[in-house]
């Protein structure tokens, strides 16, 4: 490879990696979507809407995956653990909903709302 090609190649690689690293950004907009999902989930659980509740819990599970990755990059271990905990709760909710155990699903959804608050207490500036 000649020098010019090497430089062009390096630039391409650098651009590509910065785009990947910038893909996940946990900001107010992202959280707002999670908040909407969380509200929708608890109402769908109380209305016993299986498919809608499963969709909400699945979407939260995926969001918490991103939140976890975000904090892994930042090296914030406590936030990583709260993200994991939240994701596991979202997974459990899907199991309870799928087996028509709406009482336990509802309790787990309350527990999930608590982990939101725990992380906010440490990481959200205005609380
Ligand atoms: C691992 C940490 C963490 C978890 C878990 C978490 N959040 Fe957040 N949340 C944040 C941070 C950090 C901010 C502040 C973001 C900012 O201002 O850029 C925030 C901000 C918010 C906001 C304010 C957005 C705004 O417009 O000001 C809402 C609403 C929110 N989160 C909802 C939730 C809900 C609902 C859950 C649980 C289902 C949750 N969050 C779980 C870290 C977390």
Helix (H, G, I), strand (E, B) or coil at 121: helix
Cα(14) to centroid(ligand 1), Å: 30
Give the number of domains in the chain. Answer: 1
Q: State the residue range of the domain holding 80.
A: 25-123
* Inside any domain, residue 12: no
Q: Which ligand 1 atom sits nearest the alpha carbon of residue 63?
A: 38
Q: Is the CB of 34 under 6 A from ligand 1?
A: yes
Q: How many helices (H) and strands (E) does the chain have?
A: 5, 0
Asked if 86 and 115 count as a contact pair (C-beta separation under 8 A), the reply is yes
What is the pTM for the complete model shown?
A: 0.84
The CATH number that applies at residue 90 is 1.20.120
**Token duo for residue 23:** 């893909």
Q: Smallest Cα–Cα separation from 51: which of 104, 11, 98?
A: 98
pLDDT tens for the 127 residues of the chain, in order: 677 777 776 666 655 554 455 567 888 999 999 999 999 999 999 999 999 999 999 999 999 999 999 999 999 999 999 999 999 999 999 999 999 999 999 999 999 999 999 999 999 876 5
* Inside any domain, residue 1: no
Q: Smallest Cα–Cα separation from 62: which of 99, 42, 33?
A: 33
């Amino acid at each position: 490879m000649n020098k010019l090609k090497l430089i062009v190649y390096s630039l391409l690689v650098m651009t590509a990696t910065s785009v990947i690293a910038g893909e996940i950004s946990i900001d107010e907009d992202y959280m707002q979507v999670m908040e909407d999902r969380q509200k929708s989930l608890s109402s769908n659980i109380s209305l016993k809407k299986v498919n809608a509740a499963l969709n909400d819990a699945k979407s939260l599970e995926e969001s918490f995956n991103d939140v976890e990755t975000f904090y892994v990059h930042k090296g914030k271990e406590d936030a990583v653990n709260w993200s994991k905990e939240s994701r596991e709760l979202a997974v459990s909710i899907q199991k309870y909903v799928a087996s028509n155990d709406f009482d336990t699903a509802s309790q787990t959804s309350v527990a999930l709302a608590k982990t939101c608050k725990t992380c906010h207490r440490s990481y959200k500036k205005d609380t």
